[in-house]
Amino acid sequence: MRITLRGFEIFKGRLDAPAQRALIAALRPVLQAAPLVSPQTPYGKAMSVRMTSAGAVGWYSDRKGYRYMPQHPQGTAWPDIPQPVLDIWDDVTGLERRPDCCLVNYYGEGARMGLHQDKDEADFSWPVVSVSLGDDGLFRIGNRTPGGSTESIWLTSGDVVVMGGEARLAYHGLDRIRFKSSRLLSKGGRLNLTLRVTS
């Protein structure tokens, strides 16, 4: 089922349970090679979401600001983006160009992400594709400018969202998760992948 909300294309239940488990298996070595870290906002506040990346570059933030980095903060190259993840990009976008970053967000109990735009990339004509795995997450969608009305939708494990066109620079965030609503991750929590073309 495909829902369009303010230009966000939401493919509910795009990945079945075996596909979700295959993705988790493919992400395990990524998380081993590039452990989750807690970035800080440029203002020095720790983010509640823990993150890592796969691809040529990874998204990171600390006092120096939001940016894509060629290495994990521990000094190693980011692991490659797993093939099953690239396959999702191919399926939903049909684009020849491949993403060069897969940001991996882990939401533990109580974690959230405030409303923001994804705007650290060079060219906003490429979409961002988001994959939800594990616990339910309440996704909020706003406007291309700060403020104004918002709409929310629960994203559940296996949902894929394409943020392109008018949605590409729309504010969005994740208000909260329903901790342990899914059994995909044995310790609970929500994994979100965002596939980006950064340069």
Ligand X SMILES: O=C(O)CCC(=O)C(=O)O
Instruction: Identify the DSSP state of 146.
Output: S
Amino acid in position 96: E
Among 130, 156, 157, 182, binds ligand X (CB under 6 A): 130
Among 79, 134, 137, 189, binds ligand X (CB under 6 A): 137
In the complex, minimum distance from the CB of residue 46 to Fe ion, in angstroms, rounded to a whole number: 18
Cα of 33 vs its chain's centroid, Å: 19
In the complex, minimum distance from the CB of residue 119 to ligand X, in angstroms, rounded to a whole number: 10
Angle at 132 between CA 29 and CA 158, to 5 degrees: 100
Cβ atoms of residues 131 and 88 within 8 Å: yes
Residue 134 within binding range of ligand X, rule CB under 6 A: no
Residue 121 within binding range of Fe ion, rule CB under 5 A: no
Among 9, 100, 118, 121, binds Fe ion (CB under 5 A): 118
Pairing of strands 172-177, 65-69: unpaired
In the complex, minimum distance from the CB of residue 128 to Fe ion, in angstroms, rounded to a whole number: 7
Task: Tell me how far apart the alpha carbons of residues 99 and 127 are, in angstroms, rounded to a whole number.
Answer: 9
φ, ψ of residue 26 in degrees (nearest 5) = -70, -25
The 148-187 contact track toward ligand X, x by CB under 6 A, reads -------x----------------x-x-------------
Chosen from ligand X, Fe ion, none, partner binding at 130 (C-beta under 5 to 8 Å by type) = ligand X
